[in-house]
């Protein structure tokens, strides 16, 4: 067994003039959840399409469970389960027919691997005679996951599985992934949602086709360089604009119902309070806060852009 489940070395891919991926390298360990976090157009889907043998990279090597994605694409297709970002099961087939179709194509049956999908499938089983096109977003996603799992893949590639899914279903979905991990399945998942990053074992932050950092979520947060403060008050819009131009602050961005302000050097809470008072704000609350993945991502994005 190779040391890593997925090894990506110096992968580059361009579409004409547009560079989708530039010199991407990282490894994914066995049976872990690896998160690929980045905004739309960062190159996540391109990377996944390369991993699932749908695209051939311009340069670089990638292996999945020891199989080269270009040379051994036949093996790759046997051992990977892929859930594309767009729902791509047959709308006019029922839930059961879709599942049976993909099971048969992979040379297996629903019964044989039922244990893998049971937890997910029981939730959509009451609707098994319903056509896939008539399912809700959350149910579609569960069906797609079932179909991607039905052949007992070693590696599961999930492209933005929770985009367009309600908050409750998103939470359920991540619980399911955690269970699958225990079944010795390596999961590589992309998402634009920063809050999901902390549920992964490792995350890679990707932007404009380049990997900015790879680590455990805890370490990425730990590495956050600056003192961070949470600021909230009644006139958020003006406050945000003024804080962005605050010379002692490094950056300020909206975070839910408050603003996260990163300060330069030794500046701290007192300076923010003085500044806001000076600008005529009242009832301003300022307190130190721990960085999140999103803060780290923002910080990395800024340093990357400055370069």
Partner 1 sequence: MRTIGIIIRKEFIQIFRDKTMLPIIIVMPFVQLLVLVFAATFEMKQINMVIVDQDQSASSRRLISKFEGSPFFTIDGSTFSDEQANDELLAGRSDIILKIPNGFEKNLVSGEVSDVQLLVNAINATVAGLTNAYSNYVIADFNKQMISENVNIIQPVKLKSVDVTYSYWYNPELNYKIYMLPGILVILITIIGAFLAALNIVREKEMGTIEQINVTPVQKFQFITGKLVPFWIIAMFELGFGLTLGKIIFDIPIVGNLGVLFGFAGVYLLVALGLGLLVSTMASTQQQVMFIIFFFLLTFIMMSGIFTPVESMPDWAQKVNIINPFAYFMRVIRMVLLKGSGFRDISREFFSLLIYAAIILSLAVWRYRKTA
Contacts with partner 1 by CB under 8 A lie at 49, 52-56, 73-74, 77-78, 80, 82, 84, 86-93, 97, 100-102, 104-107, 147
CB of residue 98 to partner 1, shortest distance in Å: 9
CB of 253 within 8 A of CB of 298? yes
Considering beta carbons, is residue 100 or 123 the nearer one to partner 1? 100
User: Residue 21 pairs with which residues in a beta bridge?
Assistant: 13
If you write DSSP's letter for every residue of 180-216 in order, what string do you get? HHHTT-EEEEEES-GGGGGGSSEEEEEETTEEEEEE-
Phi/psi region, residue 16 (left: phi>0; alpha: psi -120 to 50; beta: rest), is left
Q: In 3-state terms, what secondary structure has residue 37?
A: strand
Please give the distance of CA 107 from its chain centroid, rounded to a whole number.
Answer: 30
Shortest distance in whole angstroms from residue 244 CB to partner 1 = 40
CB of residue 6 to partner 1, shortest distance in Å? 15
Ramachandran region of residue 87, left (φ > 0), alpha (ψ -120 to 50) or beta? beta
- Cβ proximity to partner 1, 105 vs 178, nearer residue: 105
Question: 111 or 282: whose CB is closer to partner 1?
Answer: 111
Complex with partner 1: residue 73 or 127, whichever CB lies closer: 73
Q: Where are the beta strands (DSSP E) in 238-303?
A: 249-255, 258-263, 285-288
Q: What minimum distance in Å lies between the beta carbon of 272 and partner 1?
A: 49
Can you tell me whether residue 61 is helix, strand or coil?
strand
Q: How far is the CB of 66 from partner 1 (least distance, A)?
A: 18
Please give the C-alpha separations between residue 284 and each of 128, 168, 273, 274, in angstroms, as whole numbers. 54, 33, 8, 10
Q: Which CB, 209 or 217, lies closer to partner 1?
A: 209
- Report the nearest approach of partner 1 to the CB of residue 304 (Å): 29
Name the residue nearer to partner 1 (CB basis): 150 or 298: 150
């Amino acid at each position: 067994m190779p040391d890593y489940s997925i090894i990506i070395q110096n992968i580059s891919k361009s579409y004409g003039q547009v560079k989708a991926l530039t010199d991407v390298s990282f490894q994914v360990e066995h049976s872990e959840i690896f998160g690929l976090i980045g905004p739309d157009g960062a190159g996540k889907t391109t990377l996944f399409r390369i991993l699932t043998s749908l695209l051939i990279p311009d340069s670089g090597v990638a292996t999945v469970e020891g199989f080269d994605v270009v040379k051994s694409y036949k093996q790759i297709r046997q051992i990977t389960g892929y859930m594309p970002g767009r729902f791509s099961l047959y709308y006019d087939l029922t839930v059961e027919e879709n599942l049976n179709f993909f099971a048969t194509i992979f040379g297996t049956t629903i019964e044989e691997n039922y244990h893998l999908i049971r937890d997910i499938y029981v939730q959509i089983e009451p609707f098994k005679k319903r056509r896939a096109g008539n399912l809700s977003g959350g149910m579609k996603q569960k069906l797609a996951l079932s179909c991607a799992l039905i052949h007992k893949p070693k590696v599961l590639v999930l492209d933005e599985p929770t985009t367009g899914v309600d908050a409750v279903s998103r939470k359920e979905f991540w619980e399911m992934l955690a269970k699958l991990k225990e079944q010795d399945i390596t999961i590589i998942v992309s998402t634009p949602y920063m809050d999901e990053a902390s549920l992964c074992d490792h995350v890679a932050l990707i932007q404009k086709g380049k990997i900015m950092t790879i680590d455990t979520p805890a370490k990425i947060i730990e590495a956050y360089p600056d003192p961070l403060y949470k600021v909230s008050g009644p006139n958020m819009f003006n406050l945000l604009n003024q804080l962005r131009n605050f010379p002692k602050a490094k950056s300020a961005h909206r975070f839910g119902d408050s603003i996260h302000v990163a300060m330069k050097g030794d500046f701290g809470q007192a300076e923010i309070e003085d500044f806001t008072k000076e600008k005529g704000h009242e009832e301003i609350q300022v307190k130190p806060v721990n960085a999140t993945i999103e803060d780290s991502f923002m910080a990395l994005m800024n340093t990357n852009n400055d370069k």
